[in-house]
């Protein structure tokens, strides 16, 4: 109702001056032509612009409002589509590409710490309980990671069962604390893929600081190597140091 009254008000604002102009023109013609104008003529001069103009302007205002609403809706749809393109469809986390963009955003290339984690024996979960339960395990782990990280940390799914966390301005002790909290939170998950059967969920975690490498990409690679070291060392643990080239060979790394 309010919108309709607004549109009527706008129509009147346009039509009333037009009606006044028409009356003035009628009097002008009377003076020029020296021909008297009847009351009916004056009334029609005033009313015709209003009668014709009001519906036209009202309609135009309505179409303009619809167009504005359509533009707003399209903008929202575009923003939603762009946001969905940044996210992993299953977990809602940033996908690999956007995670990499985020860790370079706003000068972040030169600071921060990286955590890489991988679900232990994930292939066994899919093989023993089916892929639907494997997806459920992923969702449980993601919820645990979200619970364990800090408010400003960036979390992404960078592989099938592999995830990364970027901690802006985190020192080694802070990064290790977050990594340990992730490991403990995942380990405490009550995952029951079959009635009465609890299956363990654990993660192997690697941590690296930017100042160990030339840049954050190097730290990401180092954290990934340490995650593999955690798997080779027995899984369900955090590794934040080590001479990777001497202690293990990635080509022979443990799987799952």
- Catalytically active residues are 161
Alpha-carbon span 60 to 80, nearest angstrom: 30
Query: What is the separation of C-alpha 119 from the centre of its chain, rounded to a whole number of angstroms?
Result: 25
Alpha helices in the chain (DSSP H): 2-33, 39-86, 96-103, 122-129, 131-148, 172-187, 216-232, 244-247
Strand 162-167 vs strand 113-119: parallel, antiparallel, or unpaired? antiparallel
CB of 91 closer than 8 Å to CB of 40: no
> Which residues are CB-neighbours of 74 under 8 A, at least 6 positions away?
none
Sheet with 238-239, strands from edge to edge, namely 154-157, 162-167, 113-119, 203-209, 238-239
């Amino acid at each position: 109702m309010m919108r309709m009254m607004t549109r009527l008000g706008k129509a009147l604002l346009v039509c009333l001056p037009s009606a006044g102009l028409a009356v003035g023109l009628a009097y002008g013609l009377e003076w020029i032509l020296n021909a008297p104008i009847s009351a009916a003529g004056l009334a029609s001069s005033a009313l015709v612009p209003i009668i014709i103009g009001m519906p036209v302007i009202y309609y135009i205002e309505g179409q303009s409002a619809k167009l504005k609403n359509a533009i707003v809706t399209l903008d929202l749809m575009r923003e939603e589509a762009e946001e969905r393109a940044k996210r992993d469809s299953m977990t809602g986390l940033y996908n690999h590409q956007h995670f990499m963009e985020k860790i370079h955003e706003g000068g972040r290339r030169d600071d921060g710490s990286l955590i890489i984690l991988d679900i232990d024996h994930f292939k066994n979960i899919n093989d023993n309980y089916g892929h639907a339960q494997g997806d459920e395990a992923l969702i449980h782990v993601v919820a645990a990671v979200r619970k364990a990280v800090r408010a400003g940390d960036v979390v992404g799914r960078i592989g099938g069962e592999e995830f990364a966390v970027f901690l802006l301005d985190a020192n080694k002790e802070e990064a290790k604390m977050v990594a340990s909290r992730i490991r403990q939170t995942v380990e405490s998950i009550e995952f029951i893929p079959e009635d009465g059967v609890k299956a363990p969920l654990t993660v192997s975690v690697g941590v690296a600081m930017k100042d160990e490498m030339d840049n954050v990409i190097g730290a990401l690679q180092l954290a990934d190597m340490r995650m593999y070291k955690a798997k080779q060392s027995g899984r369900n643990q955090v590794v934040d140091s080590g001479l990777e080239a001497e202690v293990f060979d990635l080509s022979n790394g443990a799987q799952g």
